[in-house]
């Protein structure tokens, strides 16, 4: 996408927290190499969206929930030889110049070229399941754009985990979702057949065990 005026840029990123949008390199000119340079120099993760660097939203509680989910999925997938699970530093180029960083992602072995883990720091790859744990600065518009990128690239399933409402929205397309809560059972569907977890158990991960 080309930004001819500042208005073009503001319209594209109207729903994004402005403190997360990088002005250097000039919006519209950033590349995958800039993503790597900022990670090396500052230790910050940025997504590349239409040539604009956007810092990934972070949060302590959100990271805990993502870690809990990634652990459950990783154990399940590894025991059954289904694939691999990556956390929030698993940066991928979904399609040219569109770099995304799911909070948790599952890759079936069949998805990985040659059934091998890529050596590139940002491989051209899409997960089969992408999970986003919402932070306070994640807007509705931002997440819709992210889902569009995921499904356009070939992602089959997206889970949006909301710590504030304690719900999980299960998407099979950018718009089609089923929202689960409480004792509802979240399943891996055709992507991770046999995987199930009660939604309440996900949000109990930030609570100490009952004596």
Tens digit of each residue's pLDDT, the chain (211 residues) = 678 888 888 888 998 999 999 999 999 999 999 999 999 999 999 999 999 999 999 899 999 999 999 999 999 999 999 999 999 889 999 999 899 999 999 999 999 999 999 999 999 999 999 999 999 999 999 999 999 999 999 999 999 999 999 999 999 999 999 999 999 999 999 999 999 999 999 999 877 876 6
User: How far apart, in whole angstroms, are the C-alpha atoms of residue 44 and residue 25?
Assistant: 15
What domain range is 34 assigned to?
Answer: 6-55
Residues 42 and 106 in one domain: no
pLDDT, tens only, 105-146: 999 999 999 999 999 999 999 999 999 999 999 999 999 999
| Contact indicator for 17, 8 with CB cutoff of 8 Å | no
pLDDT reported for residue 1 = 65
Whether residues 66 and 160 share a domain: the answer is: yes
Give the residues across from 167 on adjacent strands: 162, 181
Helix (H) or strand (E) holding 53: strand 52-55
Q: Provide Rg for the chain, Cα atoms.
A: 17
Residue 11 in any domain: the answer is yes
- Do 75 and 154 have their domain in common? yes
Same structural domain, 67 and 44: no
111 & 131 share domain = yes
Answer with the one of 40, 55, 70 that is the final residue of a domain. 55
Q: How many domains does the chain have?
A: 2
pLDDT at 10: 86
Residue 1 in domain: no
Q: Are 83 and 108 in contact (CB under 8 A)?
A: yes
Residue 163 within a domain = yes
CATH code where residue 177 lies? 3.90.1570.10
Model pTM? 0.94
Distance set, CA 141 to CA 57, 63, 83, 174, 175 (Å):
14, 22, 31, 12, 12
Find, among 163, 165, 134, 136, the residue nearest to 147 by Cα. Answer: 134
The 10 Å Cβ neighbour count of residue 203 is 21
- Distance, in Å, from the CA atom of 150 to the CA atom of 45, rounded to the nearest integer, reads 18
> Among 146, 165, 175, which residue's Cα sits nearest to residue 203?
165
What digits encode the pLDDT tens for the residues 109-118?
A: 999 999 999 9
pLDDT value of residue 35: 97
């Amino acid at each position: 996408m080309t930004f001819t005026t500042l208005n073009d840029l503001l319209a594209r990123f109207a729903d994004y927290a402005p403190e997360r949008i990088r002005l250097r390199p000039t919006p519209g000119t950033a590349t995958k190499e800039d993503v790597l340079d900022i990670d090396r120099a500052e230790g910050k993760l940025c997504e590349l969206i239409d040539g604009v660097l956007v810092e990934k939203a972070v949060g302590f509680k959100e990271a805990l929930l993502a870690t809990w989910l990634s652990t459950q999925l990783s154990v399940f997938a590894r025991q059954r030889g289904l694939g691999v699970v990556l956390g929030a530093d698993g940066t991928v180029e979904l399609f040219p110049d569109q770099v995304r960083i799911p909070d948790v992602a599952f890759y079936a072995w069949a998805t990985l070229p040659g059934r091998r883990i890529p050596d590139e720091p940002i491989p051209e790859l899409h997960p089969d399941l992408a999970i986003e744990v919402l932070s306070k600065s994640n807007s509705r518009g931002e997440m819709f754009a992210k889902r569009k990128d995921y499904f356009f690239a070939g992602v089959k399933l997206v889970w949006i985990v909301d710590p504030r409402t304690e719900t999980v929205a299960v998407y099979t397309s950018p718009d089609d979702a089923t929202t689960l809560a409480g004792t509802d059972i979240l399943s891996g569907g055709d992507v991770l057949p046999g995987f199930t977890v009660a939604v309440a158990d996900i949000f109990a991960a930030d609570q100490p065990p009952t004596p």
